[in-house]
Every structure is written in C-alpha cells, then in structure tokens.
Homo-oligomer: A and B are copies of this chain.
Amino acid sequence: MGQQPITFLRQVVALCTYPNLLDSPSFPEDSKKRARRILQGCGGNSLGSYSASQGINCIREDVAAYIERRDGGVPADPENIYLTTGASDGIATILKILVSGGGRSRTGVMIPIPQYPLYSAAISELDAIQVNYYLDEENCWALNVNELRRSLYEAKAYCNPKVLCIINPGNPTGQVQNRKCIEEVIHFAWEEKLFLLADEVYQDNVYSENCQFHSFKKILYEMGPDYWNNVELASFHSTSKGYMGECGYRGGYMEVINLHPEIKGQLVKILSVRLCPPVSGQAAMDIVVNPPVPGEESYAQFIKEKESVLNNLAMKAKLTEDLFNQMPGIHCNPLQGAMYAFPRIFIPAKAIEMAKAHQMAPDMFYCMKLLEETGICVVPGSGFGQREGTYHFRMTILPPVEKLKILLEKVKNFHIKFLEEYS
C-alpha cells in the first residue's frame, strides 16, 4: 500500500540478524545500542536461538515499561507479559485455555457484532458458543452496557458465558471507546465475573480529535482496588498495526492481570509446546515499545516517519468518511480509529431477490458485482456480522491518498449504477 517501514526498526532488526553490521559506520549508535541489548537477551546472543516460551526477558521488561508510560504510571509487571506470534496467536491461545474445562455446559464467549472474524473462527474451532452483542450503529458503533446485559442473560439459558471480548479501537467499525463506556464495561465484567479480553491492537490508530485511546488496564486500575484486584483481564498489542505496519514479523504481546495461578500454569504449558514466538518478531516488538527518545540520534527521523504515517491515515480516514457520506444510499460513521471504513449500504429489494436467487447474502452479491465491474475488492458485512436486514462492507483506508480518491470515485459510480439497475 506504499507505506514505508520505520527505518529505525528495520535497522535494529538487521543488526540483530547479522551482528557483523555492529561495526558498520552506516548504522546510528542508538540502533546499535538497542540491537546489543536485544542480543544480550538472546541465547548465545543470537536471533537464531529459541527464546523462553514467554519471550525474551529484557523485551518483556521494555514492554512493561512502555505500558507504564502509556498508562501514566499504572504498574506493569514483566512477569505478566507474554510475547506472542502476532496478537491473533495470543487471543487464540488465551481463548483455548478459558474455554477448556468448562464442565457440563459449553463455554460462551461474548463478542461484538460486527467483529473481526478471528473471534468467530477461534470460538468455532474450540467448539465454544459465540454470544453476540450488537454495537450501536446509530450511535457511532458505541458499546452499550444494556445490550451486553441482554446478550449475557439470553445466553445463560443455553451456555456458560465466561469471556467478554472487546475490540477498541473497533475492527471493522473504527469506533474509539470513551472512558465512561470502558468503566461501565469493567463494572459489568466485575459484577458478572467475566474474563475481559481487550483487543487493543489499534491503540496508536486514533484519528478523531475528540477521541483518545484509554487502555482497559488503566481504567481498571483507576476504578480502585475492588476492581483492580478482582477483574481478570488480558490485553493485546501487535507490531502489525499502528504506524509500523510490520505484519510479516508476527510480533505481539499480551498482558494478563489477575490470572488464576492454575490458568497461568496451563498457559505456560500450552505455550511451551509451540516453543517460542519468532525471535525477529520479538525484536521488532521491542522497537515498538522502546523507540528512539528525544536526544537520541535517530529521534528526529523516527518521529517524522511515525507522524507522516499517522497523519496520512488520519487524513484518509476523514476523506473516506466524507466521500462515502456524499454517496446516495450509503452512510458511514466517523472513522475515529483503526484502519477501516464499514459503511452501511442500502440494497434495493430487487437486488436482494437477485442475491437470493444466486444463493448469496445480499452484501456478498453487492461486493461480487463491485469486484467484477471495478476490480475493487471489499469484504461483505456478513463476514463480520451485522443486524438482520442491514448491509455493509469493510474497506481499508490504507491505499495512497490519490489511489484512494480514485477508488472511492469508482465505488460511487458503481453504487449509483447499482441502485438504478435494481430499483
């Protein structure tokens, strides 16, 4: 998509990969300092050795220090940090442990609708029960605790709901939860003894000026010891999103709070079977949590690159929202964060009939037509879940701005033609 990697991150990983480069004058001193620190944490000073299954110690320390800075001093313990193979590995692993040993009735896992399909896939693989709660599209995809309660109490009739998954900022919906909403969710989890699973991989991707990312952990701490000592929480981060976009490295971490020691034992066992997360991904994660600071040689370039990516994404988020909302029969909530638009599309009755005749979901029919006529590939809302009778698609805002404009123009022309054809 044209987004360039952060130079400093790649320099450090290259130095770790081929330590002969530590003598090269073409690498800045601060990148060498980071590389030496990482290599000292590696068995035999090599990225090629297995690390501890939980991840390299000094990187877990850097993650904990990052979380403390991010959360204004809320304590973070490296012992609670687990490096993972991307966030999805952490999420799937913790779900596996929470779902097993459920007793007579099957474990329910509450997930937002729309959701990122990793959740439905993992739940189905584990033979658990997917318990849907609906985000409020009329209210900018807000999470409403009354809806959580409805969802939970209905589910209790047929399963044992134990886990509440939150995606903040939302994927595919892009909303950023406010502090009050997070407090309500935490209170609800505390009241109902639910394990909170906070997918916070888009924590650096917040664009709306009146929005701010609050970590679940920070709010949990600030709600006082009754919550802080009792609510079980796992939160996730990754090298794949933010301003770094290093998906291929499969770097990530999870932080767990109040995990029962027996569960922790199971977690360590299950992680050991897979040996360790990729060590180069661990190194990449280290740079995300331990980037250049003011006064260091690489700081200026790092900040320039980081802000360029984030400002660009913010601009594209606004552009996408505006252009969608100019199209007849399309409504798009503000893209407060993450990397996607999830506009609601009006599909005429005739098109719905036609889709049924083709044994397709109506939005799948729409997306296939869009693909055939324009070459643009977007994902139908039915892949993420949506309220019965509503239709959406998900589109990333990652293409370069000039391409994105052309692309949105094409979607518009297609959409108008589609409406005409099936009206």
Binding site for B on A (CB under 8 A): 1-3, 5, 10-11, 13-14, 17-18, 20-21, 24, 26, 42, 44, 46-51, 85-86, 88-89, 92, 96, 117-118, 121-122, 125, 240, 244-250, 269-270, 273-281
Contact = CB atoms under 8 A, between A and B. Distances in A.
A48 B17 contact: no
Contacts of A42: 248
Contacts of A280: 13, 17, 248-249, 278, 280-281
Given A50-B248, A249-B280, A274 B10 contact: no
Contacts of A281: 278, 280
Contacts of A26: 20, 24
A14, A92, A249 pick with most chain B CB within 10 angstroms:
A14
A400 to B, nearest CB: 11
A371 to B, nearest CB: 18
Nearest to A24: B26
A88 B49 contact: no
Given A117-B273, A125-B270, 10 more contacts: A13-B17, A14-B18, A24-B24, A47-B249, A49-B247, A85-B278, A88-B275, A96-B125, A248-B280, A249-B279
B88 A274 contact: yes
A337 to B, nearest CB: 21
A3 B270 CA distance: 28
Contacts of A86: 274-275
A13 B280 CA distance: 10
Contacts of A244: 48
Contacts of A250: 85, 275-279
Contacts of A278: 85, 248-250, 278, 280-281
A273 B118 contact: yes
Contacts of A44: 1-3
A237 to B, nearest CB: 16
B48 A248 contact: yes
A242 to B, nearest CB: 12
A248 B21 contact: no
A240 B85 CA distance: 17
B47 A273 contact: no
Given A278-B280, A280-B278, A121 B248 contact: no
Nearest to A31: B18
Q: 5 smallest A-B Cβ distances: which pairs?
A: A248-B279, A14-B18, A278-B278, A48-B246, A250-B278
Contact of A17 (B10, B89, B247): B10
A383 B24 CA distance: 46
Contact of A122 (B5, B20, B92, B273): B273
Given A1-B44, A273-B118, A274-B88, A49 B18 contact: no
10 contacts: A5-B46, A13-B280, A14-B14, A14-B17, A86-B274, A86-B275, A88-B274, A88-B275, A89-B274, A122-B273
